[in-house]
Structure 1
Amino acid sequence: MAVVLSNEFVSRGICRMTVAFKGDVLPGQFFMLRAWDKDPLLSRPISVHDYEDGKLTFLYQVVGKGTEMLSRLTPQSDVTLQGPLGNGFPRITGDLCVVGGGIGIAPLYYLVKNYRKHNPDGKCRVYLGFRDVAYGVEDFEQAADEVNLDIGGIITDQLQVASGEVVVTCGPEVMMKSVAKVVPAENRVYVSLEAHMACGIGACLGCTCATKYGNRKVCQDGPVFLRDEVFYV
């Protein structure tokens, strides 16, 4: 159980919630959240947007009953957390290029912020694409060297990747597949997948995905995979 510190809409249908939490949290990991007893049946998987000084932040989209109930939580409310879960992003030492689409930007901010902390001399470039309204851009601008923004278009049309850059992407599958095709084969590309999850710990097999090496569980083996593992066809 955690205490909600703040919870507010930052754009239409997009909420940012901060809760009190102490523990080790890696960029790219997620938590299973619930603020109800029996209905809905399942907790909701929400990726970590930021974590610092005992404050854990989630940026999430209100798309159904569960997230709508989360959006109604007020400061000092209780929320049940299970996590952190998943493998998270690897520690990146070279230059970094991040590509996010829509709510897929959520786990990328903590990655960029953590990268800057451990690589003060590295270069971090960010591409953010939105369907109609942008949000969270200012946070990326404070942490990255360069932020490229697209609203209503196709963000990968702008994408230019330098030799040696490590690329990380999260967002709609069609966007991530486009990134996988655009980025040269010699660049390492990590993708963060989304999936419907029931347990979050690999027991129910509800988030199984096909990979080059057979079926894997997004919650346990992911959500972060190498490009060649999941986009191999």
Structure 2
Amino acid sequence: MAIIRSNEFISPGICKMTVAFTGAVLPGQFFMLRAWDKDPLLSRPISVHDYEAGKLTFLYQVVGKGTEILSCLKAQSEVILQGPLGNGFPQIVGDLCVVGGGIGIAPLYYFVKDYKKKNPQGNCRVYLGFRDSSYCVESFNAIADEVNLNIGGMITDQLKVASNEVVVTCGPEVMMKSVAKATPAENLVYVSMEARMACGIGACLGCTCATKYGNKKVCKDGPVFLSDEVFYV
């Protein structure tokens, strides 16, 4: 159980929740959240948007009953947290290119912030794509070396990956496939996958995805994979 510090809409359909939390949290990990008893049955998997000592932030899209309930919670109310879960992003040495689409930008902020803290001389270029209105762009501007924005189009139309960059992307699967395709074959591309989850710990097999090494569980083996592992066809 965690106490909510703040929970507010920052854009139409997009909420940011901050809760009190202490413990180790890696960029790219997620939590299972719930604030109800039996209906809906399942908790909701939400990635970590930011973390500082004692303060954990989630950025989420209101798309159904569970997230609607979460969006109505007020400061000082309680939310049930299970986590952190998943493997998170790898430690990157060298230059970085980050591509986020829509709510897929959520886990990328903490990742970029952590990267710049550990690699102050490393160059980080960020591409952010949105269907309608943008959000959190100012936050990325404050930590990245370069931020490219696209609203209403395809962010991959602007994408130019240097041969020395590691690419990290999160967003719609079709976008991530386009990012991988637009990246030179010798570059590493990491993708953060989304999936419907029931347990979050790999027990129920509800988030199984096919990889070139056999079926894997997004919640336990991921959510971060190398692109050629999951986009292998």
Superposition pairs for residues 46-85 of structure 1, below 5 Å?
Answer: 46-85=46-85
One-letter identity of the residue aligned with 1:4: I
Counterpart AA for 1:191: V
Whole-angstrom CA distance in 2 between matches of 1:132 and 1:228: 30
Q: Determine what percentage of the aligned residue pairs are the same residue.
A: 82
Partners of 1:170 and 1:34 in 2: CA distance: 23
SS of 2:39 mapped into structure 1: coil
Whether 1:156 and 2:156 are equivalent positions in the alignment is yes
Map residues 99-118 of structure 1 onto 2, 5 A cutoff. 99-118=99-118
Partners of 1:152 and 1:146 lie apart in 2 by: 20
Residue-pair matches, total: 233
Q: Does 1:227 align with 2:219?
A: no
Q: How many Å separate the matches in 1 of 2:166 and 2:180?
A: 12
Q: Which amino acid aligns with 1:2?
A: A
1:99-140 per-residue CA deviation (whole Å, 9 max, x = no partner) reads: 000000000000000001000000000000000100010000
**Distance between the aligned counterparts of 1:40 and 1:210, measured in 2?**
28
**In 2, Cα distance between equivalents of 1:180 and 1:162:** 13
Distance 1:115 1:197 in 2: 28
The answer for the alignment partner of 1:32 in structure 2 is: 32
Cα offsets for 1:168-202 (capped at 9, x unmatched): 00000000000010001111000000000000000
Instruction: Measure the CA separation in 2 of the matches of 1:155 and 1:184.
Output: 17
User: Matched residues in 2 for 1:232 and 1:173: separation?
Assistant: 13
> Partners in 1 of 2:107 and 2:220 — Cα distance?
17
3-state SS of 2:28 partner = coil
Unmatched 5+ stretches in structure 2: none
Runs (4+) of structure 1 exceeding 6 A deviation are none
SS at match of 1:143: coil
Distance in 2 of aligned mates of 1:19 and 1:88:
20
Superposition RMSD in Å:
0.4
Deviation at 1:164, TM superposition (A): 1.3
C-alpha distance in structure 2 between counterparts of 1:145 and 1:24, whole Å:
27
CA deviations over 1:51-109 (Å, ceiling 9, x no partner)? 00210000000000000000001010000000000000001111010000000000000
Structure 1 match to 2:132:
132
Secondary structure at 1:18's aligned position in 2?
A: strand
Q: TM-score, normalised by structure 2?
A: 1.00
What's the TM-score once normalised by structure 1's chain length? 1.00
d(CA) in 2 for partners of 1:214 and 1:164? 30
Structure 2: how far apart are the matches of 1:43 and 1:166? 33
